[in-house]
Amino acid sequence: MLRFIGVVESVKEELSRVRIFDEFAAGLQGLDTFSHLIILYWFHRREDEESRRVLKVTPRRHPGAPEVGVFASRSPSRPNPIGFAVTERVKREGTILWVKGLDAVEGSPILDIKPYLPRADAFPEAVVPEWTLRGPKT
Amino acid sequence: MLRFIGVVESVKEELSRVRIFDEFAAGLQGLDTFSHLIILYWFHRREDEESRRVLKVTPRRHPGAPEVGVFASRSPSRPNPIGFAVTERVKREGTILWVKGLDAVEGSPILDIKPYLPRADAFPEAVVPEWTLRGPKT
């Protein structure tokens, strides 16, 4: 049902190198006119049945976080292990794309890239609970 | 590979009613502490092979848009027909969720809900090409 369109080849500090498979190269035209890209990827280390049955988590990287439902968390353990990140486009050389802010581990399959549209996607005043502000961004 | 966790039951103007299937209800705990929710859904009308082979589009709802790769557009025709929307949480009654800004048609299967975290997800200054500013937001 899902197709992998690419892979995270390497991660060095904040910078990730993504390779898009040649058969999807035509889909990249015009990508360089956007400063930020939404990347959907596959949490391949959590595709086992046990991880996909998790419905409640206690986000341990966020001190003081309560137990919450997976849909109120960014946990990789969830019914559909799809990762989401807004990334900064740094550079592209053909099908090799460098981005900042992609929180996917090396080897993660890429599912989709979408342009980030601030008119639709940026809500700087969105309200969040206190625990999300402690620890990492996601 | 993918599991449908719910469905868009109705859409009236900007307001969408989403039903999450009972078996995933526990995952909703804590959702109401976030003002905005990311919703991933399935473009079920574009899951045919022909739509999934599209790699270039001319976004016709945006006057003057050039031909671009699907990864530089929000077109529903793409290798993985996964829709993405940042929505405003309006109300929840158990497994029924009302949101604003979900651009999915009635009957669309829901794949995932994630909390919107402005610290990670809001980039109001992101740069976009001129054509994306004409016509609808996405």
> How do residues B96-124 score in pLDDT, each as one tens digit?
999 999 999 999 999 999 999 999 999 99
Instruction: Determine whether the interchain pair A112/B86 forms a contact, defined as Cβ–Cβ distance below 8 Å.
Output: no
The predicted-structure confidence for A27-56, as pLDDT tens digits, reads as follows: 999 999 999 999 999 999 999 999 999 999
Q: What is the pTM of this model?
A: 0.98
Q: Give dist(CA B138, CA A104) in Å, integer.
A: 25
For residue B1, what pLDDT is reported? 87
Mean pLDDT over B14-33 rounds to: 98
End-to-end Cα, chain B, rounded Å: 28
Q: How far is A68 from chain B (nearest CA, A)?
A: 5
Q: Indicate if the pLDDT at residue A71 is higher than 90.
A: yes
Nearest residue of B to residue A134, measured between CA atoms: B119
Q: At B44, is the pLDDT very low, low, confident or very high (cuts 50, 70, 90)?
A: very high
Percent of chain A with pLDDT over 70: 100
ipTM value for the complex: 0.97
Instruction: Determine whether the interchain pair A126/B122 forms a contact, defined as Cβ–Cβ distance below 8 Å.
Output: yes
> Please, which residues bridge with residue A17 across strands?
A10, A98
Q: How far is A101 from chain B (nearest CA, A)?
A: 9
**Contacts made by residues B123-127, CB under 8 angstroms, sequence distance 24+:** B123/A35, B123/A36, B123/A86, B123/A116, B123/A118, B123/A121, B123/A122, B124/A118, B124/A122, B124/A124, B125/A118, B126/A34, B126/A35, B126/A36, B126/A116, B126/A117, B126/A118, B126/A122, B127/A34, B127/A35, B127/A36
Percent of chain A with pLDDT over 90: 99
Q: How far is A85 from chain B (nearest CA, A)?
A: 8
Instruction: Determine whether the interchain pair A78/B127 forms a contact, defined as Cβ–Cβ distance below 8 Å.
Output: no
Q: Give dist(CA B137, CA A122) in Å, integer.
A: 11
Q: Which positions in chain B touch A31 (Cβ < 8 Å)?
A: 69, 71-72
For residue A137, what pLDDT is reported? 95
Instruction: Determine whether the interchain pair B128/A33 forms a contact, defined as Cβ–Cβ distance below 8 Å.
Output: yes
Instruction: Determine whether the interchain pair B72/A28 forms a contact, defined as Cβ–Cβ distance below 8 Å.
Output: yes
CB atoms within 10 A of CB A37: 23
Domains of chain B in sequence order = 6-132 (2.40.30.70)
For residue A95, what pLDDT is reported? 98
Q: How far is A16 from chain B (nearest CA, A)?
A: 16
Q: How big, in percent rounded to 5, are the helix, strand and coil portions of chain B? A: 20, 35, 45
For residue B91, what pLDDT is reported? 97
Judged by average pLDDT, the poorest of A60-64, A112-116, B47-51 is: A60-64
Q: Which amino acid is at A72?
A: A
Q: Does A130 touch chain B (CB under 8 A)?
A: no
The residues, any chain, with a CB within 8 Å of residue A100's CB and separated by 6 or more, are A14, A15, A16, A87, A88, A90
Q: Which positions in chain B touch A90 (Cβ < 8 Å)?
A: none
Instruction: Determine whether the interchain pair B28/A79 forms a contact, defined as Cβ–Cβ distance below 8 Å.
Output: no
> Which contiguous run of DSSP H or E holds residue A118?
helix A118-121
For A:43-102, CB contacts with B below 8 A are: 52, 55-56, 66-74, 78-80, 82, 84-86, 101
